[in-house]
Amino acid sequence: MSIFNKKRLDNQTFKLDVDRMRRGWYTDKYFANITIMLENLTNEKYAFIGD
């Protein structure tokens, strides 16, 4: 949910291929990539401060 307008973020926001994900198409790869990205950001001591 967006803190700016209190609306749910849709699939387009994250550029997810929902149709393929529902059929099991590389679903685990999407989440593996997100995990790697978040781990790298953590290791770099990144913190989102906001606007």
Domain range for 29 is 15-43
The reply to whether 4 falls in a domain is: no
Number of domains comprising the chain: 1
pLDDT digits (tens, 9 = 90+) for 1-43: 566 777 777 777 777 777 877 887 766 777 788 888 889 989 9
- One-letter amino acid at 47 equals A
The reply to whether 51 falls in a domain is: no
pLDDT on residue 50: 67
Q: Is the Cβ–Cβ distance between 18 and 11 less than 8 Å?
A: yes
The reply to whether 49 falls in a domain is: no
Q: Which of 36, 35, 48 is nearest to 3 (CA)?
A: 48
In this prediction the pTM is: 0.43
The 3-class SS string of 1-51 reads CCCCCCCCCCHHHHCCCHHHHHCCCCHHHHHHHHHHHHHHHHHCCCCCCCC
The reply to whether 22 falls in a domain is: yes
For residue 44, pLDDT over 90 is answered with yes
